[in-house]
Amino acid sequence: MTTPETNNSTEAQKQPATTVVASRKPNRFVKYILNHKLVFSLLFALIVVFIWGQIKINKLEKDMLKLGSVHAAQMDSSRVENYKSISNIFSWAVRSDLMRGNLDQASRYLNNVTKEPYIRKAYIVDLDKKTILLSTKKSEIGLPVSDITLLQSNYNVVKINDSTTRFTSPITGLNTIVGVSVLEADFR
């Protein structure tokens, strides 16, 4: 009884095992690329140049931001030095009027110095009484000084917050320090 199933299994056993290498045809896309090598090589070069250009642009933008921040820091430091000089000159100008007891003229100096760009407030501290002698805000005159750094008789630059800076300069008399001039600048 031979069935077709048993015949197939015996035929499979009789055939020798051979490997056939089938030659694969390249697909259409690869064939198209191989036929147009110049166009695709130029397209590849264009993509590479574009990516390289984008990398360079990003690097230049980062460098520009760094230079901008360095430049801003240099501008801030030179601005602080300029206002430190203004504070010193202001204390010299007020000195002679305080020595003579001419508070009206000293008050005019205070009002005029606040017309300078960025200067928001100016006042003079009496070191003997530890009070505000003159101020651009009339409500502050005669109030006790709450900040101990204002009672120091040296040149000082204090950054109060991100934009406000306080410049202090001593006002010297003949033998003693008469007071301290204080300028507050807002660099916004």
The secondary structure of 149-180, three-state, reads HHHCCCCEEEECCCCEEEEEEEEECCCCEEEE
Q: What are phi and psi of 178, to 5 degrees?
A: -75, -40
pLDDT value of position 93: 86
Query: Does residue 181 contact residue 174 with C-beta atoms inside 8 Å?
Result: no
For 115-143, b where at least 16 C-beta lie within 10 A, e where not — what string?
A: eeeebebbbbbbbeeeebbbbbeeeebee
Chain segment 148-177, per-residue pLDDT in tens? 777 777 777 777 777 788 888 888 877 888
- Tokens 């250009």 locate to 53
Give this prediction's pTM.
0.61
pLDDT value of position 179: 87
User: In Å, how far from its chain's centre is CA 139?
Assistant: 37
Tell me 113's DSSP state.
H
pLDDT value of position 20: 63
pLDDT value of position 52: 97
Q: What is the mean pLDDT of residues 1-21?
A: 59
**Contacts with 56 (C-beta within 8 Å, 6 or more apart), sequence order:** none
Chain segment 47-76, per-residue pLDDT in tens? 999 999 999 999 999 999 999 999 988 888
Chain segment 16-40, per-residue pLDDT in tens? 666 666 677 778 888 888 888 999 9
**Would the pLDDT of 185 be above 80?**
yes
Domains of the chain, CATH where assigned: 57-186 (3.30.450.20)
Q: What are phi and psi of 186, to 5 degrees?
A: -115, 105
The H or E element that residue 116 is part of is none
